Amino acid sequence: MAATSKKGAAAGSAAKPAPATKKQASAADADLKSRFEAAAAAAKQGKRRPDNATMLKLYSYYKQATEGDVRGDRPGGLDFVGGAKYDAWAKLKGVTRDEAMTAYIKQVERLNRE
């Protein structure tokens, strides 16, 4: 029975891809960051202003990518825009920087196709 366990473990580990080297990860990070910065510039150059729901998505992905999880208290009172921004950003709590950058890039690409 021990031989079966070792064989199963060996087969399972052979299927895993080799981890990326530090240099490869750094290059991928730099590429993602440059694509993100290009998307941020493209978002400002749009032909038309996106609707409010799309603007909130862009805002929340941008903030999550650049600052991480939301901090501080939610704006209250009559600050409806601030509250909406806070809520949109708070929904992304736990999303990684790279995931937020990728989602932002995809959202801008979608806007530019329309």
What distance, in Å, lies between the first and last C-alpha atoms of the chain? 60
* Residue 35: CATH number of its domain: 1.20.80.10
Is the residue at 18 inside a domain? no
Domain that holds residue 82: 23-113
DSSP state letter for 77: T
Is the residue at 102 inside a domain? yes
| Number of domains comprising the chain | 1
Indicate the pLDDT class of residue 113, thresholds 50, 70 and 90. Answer: confident
- For the stretch 2-37, pLDDT in tens is 444 444 444 444 555 555 676 677 777 889 999 999
Q: Which is higher by pLDDT, 72 or 22?
A: 72
